[in-house]
Chains A and B, each alone.
Chain A
Amino acid sequence: MTNFKQRGFYFKFYSFLPIMVLFISVLNEFDLNYLKLKYFSFNFPFILIFFFTLKDFKNFDYLLVFLAGLVNDTVVGLPLGISSLSYILICIATSYLRNITIRPNPIKDWFYFLLVIGLINSINYSILTLFFSYDLLLLSYLVNIFFTFILYMFFAYLFKYYLKGLND
């Protein structure tokens, strides 16, 4: 692995991969909607941001997360700032969890994630319906929360492998 670190470009590319994946996913709206499974959707950026900010990953800059939110709003067509606020609130929640946790437990993190995305989607839904008069399906939000929660563990498992590769 020393060789890997010596190869500057590849190592930098590998260490910036999460933030690049975040930007690709917000630009590409990676949520597998085209599979046409009824109601199926999940929020990949939420999982990514929650995991890497919880691990206090050094290349996961809050400013870039904030910018990713702006990009997401532009692509989806939401009022500017909504997704940025959601993403930053996730960062705050993970920062708080880090401060109060002595012994990290994946299961506790998982249920804390459910609480956080539930709260953030509620705020999101409230702002859009109350201040911007959007018509939104509450059921879509609930299903999105459910699948995001379910898929968290799967992606967390993959991300752990990534971190392991980086630390080795």
Chain B
Amino acid sequence: MASSRDDFIIAIRSAFLKKSTQQKFSLLTLVFISIFIIVLSSFDLKFIRYLKAGISEVVYRSSFIVSIPENFLKNTFFEIREYSTFFQNYKINKEELNELKSKSISDKITQFENEELKELINNYTLSSDKLLAKIIVDHDSPYLKSIIINKGSKDNIKIGTNIYDRSYLVGRVVEVNYKTSRVLLLSDLNSNVPVTIAPQNVQAIITGTGENYGEIKYIREGISNLNLEDSIVYTSGTGAIFKSGTPIGRVVAVTGSSNRFKVDFYSDFSQLKYIFAELVTKTEVKNEDQQVEIENSQINNTADTKLQILEDEKKIIEQTNLKFKEENELLKIKINNLNKQIVDFRNEVYDQKQIIAQYNIDLDEIEFLRLNLKFGHTCRKSFLNNDGFEVGTLEYKSCVMNKGQAND
């Protein structure tokens, strides 16, 4: 018993301490270094932060280069799939674009009014610029859902910067390096976003599920009995982590459960190539005199902008009218052409009817001549035939047609 325990201890000791000729460190040393690094990384020391940022810069760039062949294959596959439905999508998109163009104008006006009202409520103004960033690393890990972008502290990216795909929210920055940043996606298990569900105006929190959808959590009891299906989910701005009013997705009921809902994100996180990072700058409102001046200029600006929007709207309406007029003209020409065609066809039909009638008459004539040759002598009035008729009379013709028998 003692010897087997000794064997076990010897084997373990050998495993930990024995170095083969090629190895520079024993495994025990490396275990201690690993633990030391884990402990250090749990402290938020400045030195560690810089070291991590340095390593990340190198590793992210290397990862981007190494992933090029795999990404090329992946993208080719997706592109081929897209081409197969290209025309159909084009038609749908064209229709959608026309609808959205008309909606966009009224949205602009609403947005502008919204901003004015917000400025009245707060004593500061928020202005934001959207910065286009490329995704350099997008490894779909089964545990953590995050992406790496090619913008960092050099481009004023900060921890918490909101990240968008078009106008949809996709996540926020959780790690910033000099020229790269890590974005935690909404689908990650550690992501929590305060949201408003419209049109019911219900407040809730969406958490990631590790899949390509989120789950609505922390909803007040009673409200969960409402039918939230197909409702729109957008950020509520509670906690000031995310900007309010940004669309996220659509509510879908979880099959088999009436009280659980999931959120189908508008953006497909697996297909992201470029994203927008929102750089927000906060400006304090100036003192009263300056405020009056600024307000005056803002009022002027407001009027100018509204005027601009209305002019744009007018232009679009005029263009639409012009288009309709052109279409009308084309339709008129078409109608005229068609009417002309109808008249031509009618004339043709009349001519053909005449020809058919003439043909029928000719047929009767031929029949009469044929019978006349045969029975003419029977019907003709002559010296020997007093019962006959004068040639050319109707009675004569009738007699010939009756094959030599006079009508009674």
Contacts and interface: CB of A to CB of B under 8 A. Distances in A.
B144 A70 contact: no
Contact of A95 (B15, B139, B175): B15
Interface string B2-16: 000001001110111
Name the prevailing secondary structure of the B interface residues. helix
Contacts of B62: 27, 71
Nearest to A62: B23
B142 to A, nearest CB: 4
Interface stretch (B30-38, B112-120, B163-171): B30-38
A28 B139 contact: yes
A74 B25 contact: no
Contact of B70 (A28, A36, A39, A82): A28
Contacts of A76: 139, 141, 143-144
A107 interface: no
A58 interface: yes
A88 B34 contact: yes
Contact of A41 (B11, B60, B142): B142
Interface-central residue, B30, B33, B139, B142, by most chain A CB under 10 Å? B142
A137 to B, nearest CB: 5
Interface stretch (A3-11, A112-120, A126-134, A159-167): A126-134
A61 B15 contact: no
Contacts of A75: 59-60, 63, 137, 139
Interface string A94-111: 011001100000000000
B41 interface: yes
B142 A31 contact: yes
Contact of B142 (A77, A93, A134, A144): A144
Contacts of B14: 95-96, 99
A135 B66 CA distance: 29
B140 interface: yes
A70 B41 contact: no
B405 interface: no
A135 B11 contact: no
Interface in A4-56: 24, 27-31, 33-34, 36, 39, 41, 56
A135 to B, nearest CB: 4
Nearest to A31: B142
Contacts of A140: 142-143, 210
A58 B22 contact: yes
Contacts of A36: 270
Contacts of B33: 66, 84
Contact of A61 (B22, B67, B137, B144): B22
B185 to A, nearest CB: 11
B393 interface: no
A85 B32 CA distance: 9
Contact of A71 (B31, B59, B67): B59
8 contacts: A27-B62, A62-B30, A74-B55, A74-B56, A89-B31, A131-B42, A134-B189, A137-B143
Interface of A: 24, 27-31, 33-34, 36, 39, 41, 56, 58-59, 61-63, 66, 69-71, 74-82, 84-85, 88-89, 91-93, 95-96, 99-100, 127, 131-132, 134-137, 140-141, 143-144
Interface of B: 7, 10-12, 14-16, 18, 20, 22-25, 27, 30-31, 33-38, 40-42, 52, 55-56, 59-60, 62-63, 66-67, 70, 74, 137, 139-144, 146, 174-175, 182, 189-190, 210, 270
Instruction: Please provide the 3 A-B residue pairs with the shortest distance between their CB atoms, ordered closest to farther.
Output: A81-B37, A29-B139, A85-B34
